[in-house]
Structure 1
Amino acid sequence: MAHYAMIMLLAGIGIPVLAALNAALGVRIGSPAAAATVLFVVAFTSCLIVMLLTGPQALAKVTSAPRHLFLAGVLVAFYVLTVTYIAPSFGVGNAVFFVLLGQLISTAAIDHFGLFGARVTPMDTTRALGIALMTAGVFVTQKT
């Protein structure tokens, strides 16, 4: 389990780096949408390579998946487009702060209700306090 935590820590480190890099690309080329498109082409190519190396046969099952599961692609596009557009003027830290706040809120709901097949982790006082502390910590880091 510790290796999962480390991988997710690295993914978390990557989110603001992604935001800063893509925002800078959007400013440099003058189009957040074009920068997001470039990001997705690079991401698609990376995922395609990993899929081809690890088992392309899973792709055949995509047509049988429930359609609502494809909303994830729309959500990642929304994130990338908005952070690429907003971060240059709002600041990467501020943008990611609100992303983290949104993640805390949606994570609590997903876990509490077991949405989308997630393992149920009921909201209790301890969990609510932990989320409140995390929210306060993220807020304090952005106070200037």
Structure 2
Amino acid sequence: MLQGTQNFMLYGFIMFIAGLGIPIMAALNGGLSNKLQNTALAAVILLFVGLCIALTYLFTTSGVPKTFYATGTPWYFYFGGCFVMFYILTISWVAPKFGIANAIAFVLLGQLIAMVVIDHFGFFGAKQYTLDYKRLAGLTLMIAGIALILSKPQQS
């Protein structure tokens, strides 16, 4: 473990639950896109629902902080929304045609590669973790697992 604290387990559990939601979200997004026969409209609806939930959370917890208007925030921090939009559009369009497992497996592959690069170099202000042999071995095993998931099942 990177940290021997209770927070590590709590955060790990929360992210595990979030991870369970990714394929569910892909199936729901793809279903809405198919029913509407319009991927862009489905994305707008999904993002609007997400906006409503985020605003509700914001205003029921702390409200807009005074630092919202602070200068010095790197411009590229605001591009996270572009990645959210790209993900929603692509998963809504690709997953129904390609299969949920296939789509998510390739999403996971992209995430694995991006995470080690971001961590290794500390990009975007992330905490830096060197890509050592142990982490590289773990990454290799995870990629091998994805390859096994993507392999065609044997016909019985």
Task: Give yes or no for TM over 0.5.
Answer: yes
Partner of 2:39: 32
1:130 aligns with 2:138: yes
The CA deviation at 1:67 is: 1.6
1:99 aligns with 2:119: no
The CA deviation at 1:32 is: 1.0
Unaligned runs of 5+ in 1: none
Whole-angstrom distance in 2 between the partners of 1:30 and 1:80: 15
User: Which whole-Å deviations, capped at 9, do the CAs of 1:88-128 have from their partners, x for residues lacking one?
Assistant: 11111111111000000000000000111111100111111
Deviates more, 1:134-143 or 1:93-102: 134-143
User: Which whole-Å deviations, capped at 9, do the CAs of 1:50-108 have from their partners, x for residues lacking one?
Assistant: 00011123275156332210110001100110010111111111111110000000000
The CA deviation at 1:142 is: 2.4
Partner of 2:128: 120
2:24 to 17, 27, 52: 17
SS, match of residue 120 in structure 1: coil
1:82 to 90, 93, 109: 90
SS, match of residue 10 in structure 1: helix
Question: Size of the alignment, in residue pairs?
Answer: 144
Amino acid across the alignment from 1:97: A
SS, match of residue 129 in structure 2: coil
Amino acid across the alignment from 2:47: F
Whole-angstrom distance in 2 between the partners of 1:49 and 1:23: 25
Deviates more, 1:59-68 or 1:96-105: 59-68
Whole-angstrom distance in 2 between the partners of 1:119 and 1:60: 22
The CA deviation at 1:39 is: 0.6
SS, match of residue 64 in structure 2: helix
Partner of 1:70: 78
Larger helix fraction of residues: 1
TM-score, normalised via structure 2 length: 0.88
SS, match of residue 57 in structure 1: coil
Partner of 2:13: 6
